[in-house]
Structure 1
Amino acid sequence: MEAAEPKPPAGADAARRLARGCWSAFWDYETPKVIVVKNRRLGVVYRAVQLLILLYFVWYVFIVQKSYQDSETGPESSVITKVKGITFSEHKVWDVEEYVKPPEGGSVFSIITRIEVTPSQTLGTCPESMRVSNATCDSDVDCVAGQLDMLGNGLRTGRCVPYYQGSAKTCEVSGWCPVEDGASVSQFLGKMAPNFTILIKNSIHYPKFQFSKGNIEHRKDGYLKRCTFDEVSDLYCPIFKLGFIVERAGENFTELAHTGGVIGVIINWDCDLDLSASKCNPKYSFRRLDPKHVPASSGYNFRFAKYYKVNGSATRTLIKAYGIRIDVIVHGQAGKFSLIPTIINLATALTSIGVGSFLCDWILLTFMNKNKVYSHKKFDKMADPPTSGPSQQNSTLSDPRGLAQL
């Protein structure tokens, strides 16, 4: 007798059946079962949710956000500024070259409105400022020779000397003398400052759309020499009076001129490039940028010195300047119709309408009185067929009424 062929293991046979079943199921088409529920309240909720979703996409997404457009934020920008005007203090007349720092005409510059001048400082020894910590003393023992205070005005010599005025004494330092607090004189430059004019020339470019525009009107009749900015009549005349900028920022000019501060001139270019280029216009706004209500850091000031020679000795005039710093900030966004974002947002809108069905199904199966009946109608359950012979399996599969179990 020939040896019987070995039977394949049961696990391999089951794996083949599973693979054939998966392959067959891959080509099946599935469609959801539709049940019509005659319930007016549920129907009102369903249509209301659909309407809200539709209004959100039509009004907010497509009209307000313009999501049918391809967009670009942050335009390439250039800013050129120029200040004009003269003013005077108690001692002299000041022109642009003296009160504007730096003079290059960039997007950030300062207009000096008050100064504290310490004239004729020379290298030598003198009393330290009383504002410096541990500067006051009673005798030379209180002063350590060679000590250097990073917030002070020089290297201590080790001697305790009388202060510039009064009976107090401070440690002597070697540096530029006299120190600032001992001989400074205040001068106010802000009397004519509100009438200073500031030209802000701005050009922007959106590289994605190859769109460029500037904020100055192209005219050859000397228009810029006789105009000042007005939102209605002279939008493309970017010449602003300093007093106008401070007022629009909500500040008091006299107070700001004494303490100093930072004002932002914000130019916003929001352009809908589906419209003509004439509809893309700059929008100006003004606000104070530095922390006004924080005493420790309010105001704005800086120091600089002018050096010269007196009888061959190095001499300087130290100036502590208070002023109004102008920061020109440019931002914007451009958009133009594009098919890809339109299709994406339409598909999202159509898909989101299905949220109404999900919400109503949840209400139907959770809170309705006949939720078990609805659950039975909505979900069909099929039990595993009993294990039997081939004839019984064939009869079960051939019985059309067996579909009632699905």
Structure 2
Amino acid sequence: MVRRLARGCWSAFWDYETPKVIVVRNRRLGFVHRMVQLLILLYFVWYVFIVQKSYQDSETGPESSIITKVKGITMSEDKVWDVEEYVKPPEGGSVVSIITRIEVTPSQTLGTCPESMRVHSSTCHSDDDCIAGQLDMQGNGIRTGHCVPYYHGDSKTCEVSAWCPVEDGTSDNHFLGKMAPNFTILIKNSIHYPKFKFSKGKIASQKSDYLKHCTFDQDSDPYCPIFRLGFIVEKAGENFTELAHKGGVIGVIINWNCDLDLCESECNPKYSFRRLDPKYDPASSGYNFRFGKYYKINGTTTTRTLIKAYGIRIDVIVHGQAGKFSLIPTIINLATALTSIGVGSFLCDWILLTFMNKNKLYSHKKFDKVVDTLGQHMGQRPPVPEPSQQDSTSTDPKGLAQL
């Protein structure tokens, strides 16, 4: 049995299959066949070639340069603030922070003082509760081993060697966001697609005084690179007062999708704005940072003003894709389209041989086995005589009439 099976497999290995064309006059099956072909053709013509533009060679992720500059003046309760004070970092780049609220701890000097009550396990009743030399990474300094009265009230905390007085939540609070919605942000951006050797900047006008008068507007001036801070926050769907108080991160997304088969003037950026930090996650939302301003009193004692700043951080994100006609992807997608049209025939063959009433008759007409004399000399299967036309007609006189 094994030898017979091996001989059969060896013989079948040398078989050759060639398609046989049968015309089946069935309107339902013909309708399904043409509809499948039509859907495949529409998919490739409309989606693949028109929407996806698969006849083009493409490049994603352009090389990009970004320069930002903020202008504006605002006021707190007792002070006028200009750009040099509320913008960090001052040189401008793809990320810029605009301070809208600060907590100030003035006149800090190096010395010893009570630890902040906000630090874990900082409260005490006696010196035994404070271990000298102990360092809490969430605290402000190194403990001296003494339990001392707090800045206010009857509580006591462990004494630390640090910048004193420590930041304890009772610092002066200044809100800078009153005029902040009218701040303007200049965003200069230029891109380069190295594969196509294409470069372009996003300032459309060449006039020297253009930037002095324009402000971005989606309808009247869509290519002006100057944005109002209030406009950016509004387009991101946020409340400005709430955002200025707690801080947050807003993304300015610049999308350069360019069809390089068209003229250069058709390649222009599209803008979108959205909040990047998780708004509804209390542990992760908001944005703040600390920095100090140092000076000396009487030329000897180093003193600093500690500032905890809350602000709106602007992240400029550039992405895009460029495409240009290329013969190779065009040929590949055309070949794929022509090949995929054959799916209709495969589907109809499956219906024909599986679900039709006379599927056995169709199968008999579709598949034939022919053995030539060369196959006999090679020791293959003996020829199987095909039924003659008369036999076929006598056994199934209506068979050909149904094809």
Partners of 1:71 and 1:309 lie apart in 2 by 60
- Hey, what does 2:221 align to over in structure 1? 234
1:333 to 304, 321, 328: 321
The residue type paired with residue 240 of structure 2 is F
Q: Which moved more, 1:57-66 or 1:207-216?
A: 207-216
- Match status 1:380 vs 2:368: yes
- Match status 1:225 vs 2:226: no
- Match status 1:352 vs 2:340: yes
Partners of 2:347 and 2:164 lie apart in 1 by 81
Partners of 2:185 and 2:328 lie apart in 1 by 44
Q: Percent identity?
A: 81
Residue 403 of structure 1 deviates from its aligned partner by: 9.4
Native 8 Å contact 1:153 1:173 kept in 2: yes
- Match status 1:324 vs 2:350: no
Native 8 Å contact 1:164 1:182 kept in 2: no
- Hey, what does 2:164 align to over in structure 1? 177
The residue type paired with residue 33 of structure 2 is Y
Residue 299 of structure 1 deviates from its aligned partner by: 0.2
- Hey, what does 1:285 align to over in structure 2? 272
Residue 219 of structure 1 deviates from its aligned partner by: 2.5
Question: Which SS does the other structure have where 2:54 is aligned?
Answer: coil
Native 8 Å contact 1:216 1:236 kept in 2: yes
Partners of 1:258 and 1:111 lie apart in 2 by 12
- Hey, what does 2:152 align to over in structure 1? 165
The residue type paired with residue 209 of structure 1 is F
Partners of 2:168 and 2:230 lie apart in 1 by 31
Residue 221 of structure 1 deviates from its aligned partner by: 5.0
Pair 1:86–1:101, CA change in 2 (3 A): same
Native 8 Å contact 1:262 1:326 kept in 2: yes
Structure 1 segments, 4+ long, off by >6 Å, are 400-405
Question: Which SS does the other structure have where 1:186 is aligned?
Answer: strand
Partners of 1:217 and 1:379 lie apart in 2 by 68
Residue 47 of structure 1 deviates from its aligned partner by: 1.0
- Hey, what does 2:5 align to over in structure 1? none
1:127 to 107, 114, 117: 114
- Hey, what does 1:76 align to over in structure 2? 63
Kindly tell me the number of residue pairs found equivalent between the two proteins: 376
Could you tell me the TM-score, scaled by structure 2's length? Answer: 0.88
Partners of 2:181 and 2:195 lie apart in 1 by 41
Partners of 1:166 and 1:57 lie apart in 2 by 77
Pair 1:80–1:182, CA change in 2 (3 A): closer
Native 8 Å contact 1:72 1:206 kept in 2: yes
Which segments of 5 or more consecutive residues in structure 2 lack a partner in the other structure? Answer: 1-9, 392-403
Question: Which SS does the other structure have where 1:180 is aligned?
Answer: coil
- Match status 1:155 vs 2:128: no
Residue 70 of structure 1 deviates from its aligned partner by: 0.7
Per-residue CA shift, 1:303-328, capped at 9, x if unaligned? Answer: 00011111311111000000000000
Q: Which moved more, 1:32-41 or 1:239-248?
A: 32-41
Partners of 2:58 and 2:285 lie apart in 1 by 39
2:179 to 192, 212, 224: 192
Partners of 1:347 and 1:325 lie apart in 2 by 50
Question: Which SS does the other structure have where 2:280 is aligned?
Answer: coil
Q: Which moved more, 1:344-353 or 1:270-279?
A: 270-279
Residue 183 of structure 1 deviates from its aligned partner by: 4.6
The residue type paired with residue 166 of structure 1 is G
The residue type paired with residue 196 of structure 1 is F
- Match status 1:202 vs 2:163: no
- Hey, what does 1:12 align to over in structure 2? none
Residue 275 of structure 1 deviates from its aligned partner by: 0.8
Q: Which moved more, 1:175-184 or 1:336-345?
A: 175-184
Residue 208 of structure 1 deviates from its aligned partner by: 1.2
Could you tell me the TM-score, scaled by structure 1's length? Answer: 0.87
Residue 373 of structure 1 deviates from its aligned partner by: 1.2
Per-residue CA shift, 1:358-384, capped at 9, x if unaligned? Answer: 111111111112111111111113589
Partners of 2:230 and 2:139 lie apart in 1 by 37
Which segments of 5 or more consecutive residues in structure 1 lack a partner in the other structure? Answer: 1-17
- Match status 1:298 vs 2:292: no
- Hey, what does 2:73 align to over in structure 1? 86
The residue type paired with residue 210 of structure 1 is K
Native 8 Å contact 1:79 1:107 kept in 2: yes
Partners of 2:338 and 2:170 lie apart in 1 by 77
